[in-house]
Structure 1
């Protein structure tokens, strides 16, 4: 009997990677959803036996989708496949009814091992199997969509390290990927919320395989009190302590992020020492410091927020124009 599979992920790269990791001898039909609401609509209208569910998505994220399935009598078996590997994220999806949690990107071996625990897979009839039908996978992979997905995985690795350090839950967004002029970069940061009051920033450069990246971590100054509180710093916060906190957060977020990025692209980056770009300044002044260097750039923006605390920061990856061709080539290898 054929099994109905639904892969719910906003990333075309993630959908393709997961679909191609499924066992070829499984008698199954695969459908796709780009966000949680689309998945719920499909489940309401079509039998679905098992759903592979991402967490960070627009419209309805994975948590909201699991909540939406609570009252559905026809709810499928749900396996979460996510780059958000925070222990609390794994616990939350388990509490919401997810059968298993797999870390992105998932290999065919890992997926087979997880499926081997499910009756829906072990009860399959190999003698009458028609094989796996992957459905429509013709959607073209773009540089932006590919970069968004590998940034999503890298974001999750970095957030897990910060969450462990602070013993908190980090709220993660869908990474934003855009080609921006300097004026548009300032506007993007404004929408992210870092222009409310003053901010401080750390910059660091990375080069490898023809790709040049400048990372910029922008930390809202209003976040310092709660950050110090979480780290058990009871003394008054002076300028040197703020600088120490800023460098610590930069190291925790940028280091693991770039490590995960390099692993996915299978390249090694040389890196410069992190440098303070400014303290207690406005975003527009921060952008002005680099105005001559940033004419037009491919930018990835991620806004990290700590749940229940007034802590937020923007992590930006700024790629030079010469980086686009080798980056696009490396990303295309991920689905070959």
Structure 2
């Protein structure tokens, strides 16, 4: 039998490595990897993607764009979407654009095997739990930053699914930024999130298993009334603040729970607190400058489709947390 051309299209080396490892060991594939949608389309056009395992959130061209182009060009391939964006609307859109199946990240080997079998690919019954040792040489190298970005991506998607249900809108997901920031760089990142607007900032601390930090969620004051309208409520000043605290609990809580589950660390969360209300970013930095030191920062900006609204979330891990995070990520990377 000739190997079946299979394309793994995902910007994360961690995700590609996990997917290749999740493939049934006894199936005969010729595997190609692509790091964005444009690379993926080029590989498919070159005959390297009879089967495509496709991420949705990617640079250059996202998964929705790839699916739309495949339809427009009539390219002969079968697509299984494997994504951290688990919103019902994301699943509906992907399937409407021709995806044969949708699997949430990180991909379960049994679900992947079942999806491949549904495409007519013969999978031995005992192969789903085996490792793909013969493809070990083709597995990508995964850095700490890439691995943590992928873990954050999955957690971010779970938070978006919950937020979208609460607000009744589709949440546009970014690619998370992960960086070690000195205090001055953190201030610059916060200033960039403001864009000259007054804001309300809410923080929530977390600790557990050798990891500690705090989440910072920034709401732009000009958007708060629109958020209240989406929730079909008319609020006074006190009730608006309560609404923001509730939203912060939803977004931050879901994100941290997603991280805890993947990293196998139990993170206890404090109650959300208001750091600053209706203030410029300079005041927020000045008030809190002693608490923000050198930190591992995850930056996520949720956008609401058809609304000029975004929620800027930063997960700030203490420098002392990095060795424990590295250890847990190594377990995921090396499997």
Shared fold (TM-score, shorter chain, > 0.5): yes
Measure, in 2, the Cα distance between the counterparts of 1:319 and 1:132: 35
- Aligned position for 1:231: 231
Instruction: Compute the displacement of 1:138 (Å).
Output: 4.7
SS of residue matched to 1:216? strand
- Aligned position for 1:205: 205
Q: Deviations over 1:3-23 (max 9, x none)?
A: 111001111111111100000
- What residue ranges of structure 1 are gaps of 5+ in the alignment? none
- Aligned position for 1:19: 20
> Which deviates further from its counterpart, 201-210 or 131-140?
131-140
SS of residue matched to 1:102? strand
Q: Deviations over 1:280-312 (max 9, x none)?
A: 011222222221222211100000111111221
- Aligned position for 1:276: 274
Measure, in 1, the Cα distance between the counterparts of 2:123 and 2:153: 34
- What residue ranges of structure 2 are gaps of 5+ in the alignment? 127-131
Measure, in 1, the Cα distance between the counterparts of 2:8 and 2:292: 38
Instruction: Compute the displacement of 1:139 (Å).
Output: 3.2
SS of residue matched to 1:173? coil
> Which deviates further from its counterpart, 282-291 or 164-173?
282-291
Measure, in 1, the Cα distance between the counterparts of 2:181 and 2:308: 28
- Aligned position for 1:296: 294
Indicate how the Cα distance of structure 1 residues 148 and 51 shifts in structure 2: closer, same or farther if over 3 A, else same.
same
Instruction: Compute the displacement of 1:180 (Å).
Output: 1.2
Q: Quick check: 2:117–2:123 contact (8 Å CA) kept in 1?
A: no
Instruction: Compute the displacement of 1:222 (Å).
Output: 1.3
Please give the residue correspondences for 1:126-137 in structure 2 after superposition, counting only pairs within 5 Å: 134=135, 136-137=137-138
Residue among 249, 261, 265 paired with 2:259: 261
- Aligned position for 1:181: 182
Please give the residue correspondences for 1:3-152 in structure 2 after superposition, counting only pairs within 5 Å: 3-119=4-120, 121-122=121-122, 134=135, 136-152=137-153
SS of residue matched to 1:243? helix
Q: Deviations over 1:84-128 (max 9, x none)?
A: 000001111111111110000111111112222111x1389x9xx
SS of residue matched to 1:189? helix
Instruction: Compute the displacement of 1:70 (Å).
Output: 1.7
SS of residue matched to 2:178? strand
Give TM-score, length-normalised by structure 1. Answer: 0.93
- Aligned position for 1:220: 220
Segments of 4+ in structure 1 off by > 6 A? none
How many residues align? The count is 327
Give TM-score, length-normalised by structure 2. Answer: 0.93
Q: Quick check: 1:22–1:108 contact (8 Å CA) kept in 2?
A: yes
